[in-house]
């Protein structure tokens, strides 16, 4: 799964060296980012002209918080690939005016047109980014209160109990407009919600279900997370 997703990214960047790329934090994408680092070091792909946009962030955190999305991207993406700071578009989740921060992100993305590859994971409640259940499909960057499931599951990224209350995130409108909206998911614990997302009703109560209506969507799964899908059951 990780290699297939990395190969897809590599081939796209080879065709469009100045692509606008968005990657998530979390467990599922780590292997993909590792492969991309190997490809870059081997000279198989050059990310120096790419621009990277952050998917989301816990409100009130920055890279000094080890559980923050920015810290993850620094560790697994920006530092291994040698991405210059000027090629990173990231949320300031400590901004005094979060609405203004969302507008800033929207404007920076709009300068590039749309996101070329927007890679997301899926949460245990079906969220993508921090677009929580009940979110509008028509939002660009925005901030919203976190679902109780996200608050609980999110603790795994922190060494000690951490209060999580709000997220700031790119919206599902960005995902719809991306040249390639991409989902990467792994692990049997997410098999149920993934089946709902890909084969259930399209509903904002399961934000990841939006993938069903996106013609260019790409989905990369391991076998464990795919076990409840109809095609997997037929094998």
Do 105 and 58 meet the contact criterion of CB atoms below 8 Å apart?
no
The one catalytic residue among 57, 101, 116, 132: 132
DSSP state letters, 85-129 = GGGEE---TT-S-HHHHHHHHHHHHHHTSS-SEEEE---TTS-BT
Q: How many CA atoms lie within 13 A of 224 on its CB side?
A: 9
Phi, psi at 122, each rounded to 5°: -135, 135
Active site residue 127: yes
Q: How many CA atoms lie within 13 A of 208 on its CB side?
A: 28
Do 55 and 24 meet the contact criterion of CB atoms below 8 Å apart?
yes
Between CA 177 and CA 171 the distance in angstroms is 10
Do 147 and 127 meet the contact criterion of CB atoms below 8 Å apart?
yes
The one catalytic residue among 76, 127, 142, 143: 127
Helix count and strand count (H, E) for the chain: 9, 9
Of the candidates 85, 82, 77, the residue with the CA atom closest to the CA atom of residue 34: 77
The one catalytic residue among 56, 57, 101, 116: 56
Active site residue 125: yes
Between CA 229 and CA 70 the distance in angstroms is 33
The one catalytic residue among 101, 125, 131, 142: 125
**Sheet hosting strand 117-120, strand order edge to edge:** 88-89, 51-54, 20-23, 117-120, 180-185, 218-221
Active site residues: 56, 125, 127, 132
């Amino acid at each position: 799964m990780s290699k297939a997703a990395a190969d897809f990214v590599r081939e796209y960047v080879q065709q469009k060296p100045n692509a606008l790329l968005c990657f998530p934090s979390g467990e599922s994408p780590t292997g993909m980012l590792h492969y991309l680092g190997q490809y870059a070091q081997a000279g198989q792909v050059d990310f120096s002209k790419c621009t990277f946009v952050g998917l989301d962030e816990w409100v009130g955190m920055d890279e000094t918080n080890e559980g923050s999305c920015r810290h993850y991207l620094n560790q697994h993406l920006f530092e291994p690939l040698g991405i210059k700071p000027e090629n990173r578009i990231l949320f300031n989740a400590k901004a005094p005016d979060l609405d203004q921060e969302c507008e800033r992100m929207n404007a920076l993305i709009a300068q590039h047109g749309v996101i070329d590859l927007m890679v997301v994971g899926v949460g245990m409640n079906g969220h993508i980014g921090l677009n929580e259940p009940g979110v509008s499909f028509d939002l660009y960057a925005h901030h919203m209160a976190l679902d109780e499931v996200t608050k609980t599951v999110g603790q795994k990224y922190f060494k000690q109990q951490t209060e999580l209350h709000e997220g700031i995130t790119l919206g599902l409108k960005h995902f719809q407009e991306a040249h390639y909206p991409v989902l990467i998911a792994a692990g049997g614990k997410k098999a149920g919600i993934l089946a709902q997302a890909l084969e259930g009703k399209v509903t904002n109560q399961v934000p990841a279900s939006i993938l069903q209506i996106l013609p260019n969507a790409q989905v990369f799964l391991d076998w464990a997370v795919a076990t409840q899908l109809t095609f997997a059951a037929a094998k």
